[in-house]
Structure 1
Amino acid sequence: MALPDDITLANALADAAGAAIRPFFRAPYDIEAKADASPVTEADRAAELAMRGLLETQRPADGIIGEEFGTVREGASRQWVLDPIDGTRSFIAGRPIFGTLIALMQDGWPILGIIDQPISGERWVGAMGQPTLFNGKPARTRRCRALEGAQLATTSPHLFSAHDGEHYLALAAAVAGDRLGQGPIYGGDCYNYGLLASGHVDIVCETGLKLHDFAALVPVVEGAGGHMCDWSGEPLHEASAGDVIAMGDPARLEDVIGALSHHHD
């Protein structure tokens, strides 16, 4: 399980990543001069290096799986999974809804996760068996009595394959009911899962996520009273394919999976 020391360290990792990222956000830059190194790649690398440096000092036996610099100590039973900037498009567009993701996995299962937004100063910390904290105070998902009228979020409809997109649209239609004008909210990447943990969003549905995109989300959502799984309802772990559902109210699980499986071929 995640120990208090692990949670303290994870918070320090998020602090270090945020300090590395902030100077690059909305910073003026010369595209011609840096064709090979956009502000996002510079920020990504600086943030991941800062986190990896701390881990090498504090947890030399633990594995590290990072988006930018790959994996070290692959066989370790404890693995830190790092995504310095989840939400590259938002970062480039100056939208403060990207996030730094930090997870600790034990034998392939996420047991600790942080979603950190370093511009707005918002941080969700989830650890197995403990309530999720948002900036130090307990975060709770909200109940959702029916699929119709639920607030659905996904980063972009363009990220679904044609096949997955049909399933997603079937879910969006079931959620919209007669209120098609309301529709889902788009954009947000990991930030949507924080909003779900804090009770502002009911369902997030995505495909094509990598381990570093989803590992940190699971303890945050579940510690706030929500539920996360793949599209067939299986729990998420290191071998999951990357299709994910998060719901604030676990009672809606069968409704969500049922709606996703109804579509016209």
Structure 2
Amino acid sequence: MDPSPYGDDLRLAHVLADQVEPITMGRFRASDLVVESKPDLTPVTQADRDCEATIRSQLSRYRNRDAVIGEEFEPTGHSKRQWVIDPIDGTKNYVRGVPVWATLIGLVEDGECVMGLVSAPALGRRWWAAKGAGAWSGRSLAKAEQIHVSKVGEVSDSSFSYSSIDGWREAGRGMSFLRLTSEVWRTRAYGDFWSYMLLAEGAVDAAAEPELELYDMGALVAIVTEAGGRFTSLEGEDGPWGGNALATNGLLHDAYLDRLAPDES
């Protein structure tokens, strides 16, 4: 991999993923796994909390000047450098024994997503990127291949991955979404981090979700963009700041933005 000013941060992210993998895998498909509902009615397990607590503890040791934003605990610190953590992205899959879930570790500096790592131990895969060093996938830094987005340039030839249909209706884009799904070559609801990693690998050409939090996206942006893609909100704002996401191979981005515009009233 090419050198990057964020190489040390990326290596630390791999160490953090190594440390929390026994926590998440140790409780995955456990018969006594306790699942609770948060105030927003989304599920959470002790594995989520233990994973994030471990990452925060290590960051306080090795990056004590940096801020931390995570899903399960209040933000800590004030810094231009912010670590963005989702301990288990895909908790609903996790609690049902579906292996498509991951720990997301991202770094934002001065409002730019400069590093991201996605660790999916039940799939035996990781994806990562640091600004200026490309996007990679494999089991470790030593066993990796560089990844790139596809070169599909027509919506009618594109493969589109999304999450739930209901979310698009609730976001006032249900009709736009349905029209788009009838226009593309193929649709699949891979969902969560998986859609965006398949995009970065060139296996799908566009991925979108109508409602997301910063911790859902913080680790994904650098991987998509370093793979040659584009990541914005549904309004076209670059980065993970708009509360939703559209990621494409870049060639399709403007066309997808047009087609996923809010429904006419």
On whether the aligned pair clears a TM of 0.5, the verdict is yes
1:139 to 138, 147, 153: 147
Q: CA deviation at 1:185?
A: 1.0
Partner of 1:206: 209
Q: CA deviation at 1:137?
A: 1.3
Q: CA deviation at 1:108?
A: 2.3
Q: Which amino acid aligns with 2:145?
A: K
Partner of 1:41: 45
CA distance in structure 1 between the aligned counterparts of 2:220 and 2:155, rounded to whole angstroms: 22
Q: 1:8 to 1:30 in 2, by over 3 A?
A: closer
Partner of 2:245: 244
Q: 1:35 to 1:141 in 2, by over 3 A?
A: closer
- CA offsets per residue over residues 55-110 of structure 1, 9 Å max, x none? 0110111111111112111x211110000011111111211111111110102221
Q: CA deviation at 1:35?
A: 6.1
Q: CA deviation at 1:40?
A: 4.8
- CA offsets per residue over residues 31-50 of structure 1, 9 Å max, x none? 6xx76899951110111111
Partner of 2:123: 120
User: What secondary structure does 1:191 align onto?
Assistant: helix
Matched, 1:53 2:57: yes
Flag structure 2 segments of 5+ consecutive residues without an equivalent: 139-143
User: What secondary structure does 1:119 align onto?
Assistant: helix
Partner of 1:83: 86
CA distance in structure 2 between the aligned counterparts of 1:222 and 1:159, rounded to whole angstroms: 25
CA distance in structure 1 between the aligned counterparts of 2:224 and 2:129, rounded to whole angstroms: 7
Q: 1:21 to 1:261 in 2, by over 3 A?
A: same
- Checking the alignment, whether the CA contact within 8 Å between 2:33 and 2:45 is kept in structure 1 is no
Partner of 1:157: 165
Q: Which amino acid aligns with 1:90?
A: N
Matched, 1:94 2:97: yes
The structure in which a higher percent of residues are strand is 2
Partner of 2:27: 24
- CA offsets per residue over residues 145-184 of structure 1, 9 Å max, x none? 21013111112112231512223223222225xxxxx5x2
Q: Which amino acid aligns with 2:258?
A: G
Q: Which amino acid aligns with 1:53?
A: S
CA distance in structure 1 between the aligned counterparts of 2:134 and 2:172, rounded to whole angstroms: 37
User: What secondary structure does 2:155 align onto?
Assistant: coil
- CA offsets per residue over residues 102-149 of structure 1, 9 Å max, x none? 110102221101111011221010111111010121011111121013
CA distance in structure 2 between the aligned counterparts of 1:151 and 1:262, rounded to whole angstroms: 21
Q: Which amino acid aligns with 2:228?
A: G
CA distance in structure 1 between the aligned counterparts of 2:44 and 2:98, rounded to whole angstroms: 13
CA distance in structure 2 between the aligned counterparts of 1:116 and 1:188, rounded to whole angstroms: 16
**4+ runs deviating over 4 angstroms:** 34-40
User: What secondary structure does 1:7 align onto?
Assistant: helix
Partner of 1:179: none
CA distance in structure 1 between the aligned counterparts of 2:11 and 2:262, rounded to whole angstroms: 44
- Checking the alignment, whether the CA contact within 8 Å between 2:115 and 2:129 is kept in structure 1 is yes
Aligned residues: 253
Q: CA deviation at 1:53?
A: 1.3
- Checking the alignment, whether the CA contact within 8 Å between 1:20 and 1:50 is kept in structure 2 is no
User: What secondary structure does 2:207 align onto?
Assistant: strand
Q: Which amino acid aligns with 2:181?
A: A
CA distance in structure 2 between the aligned counterparts of 1:192 and 1:50, rounded to whole angstroms: 27
1:8 to 4, 8, 11: 11
Alpha-carbon RMSD across the aligned residues, in angstroms, is 2.2
Q: CA deviation at 1:17?
A: 2.2
Partner of 2:141: none
Q: 1:139 to 1:214 in 2, by over 3 A?
A: same
TM-score, normalised relative to structure 2: 0.88
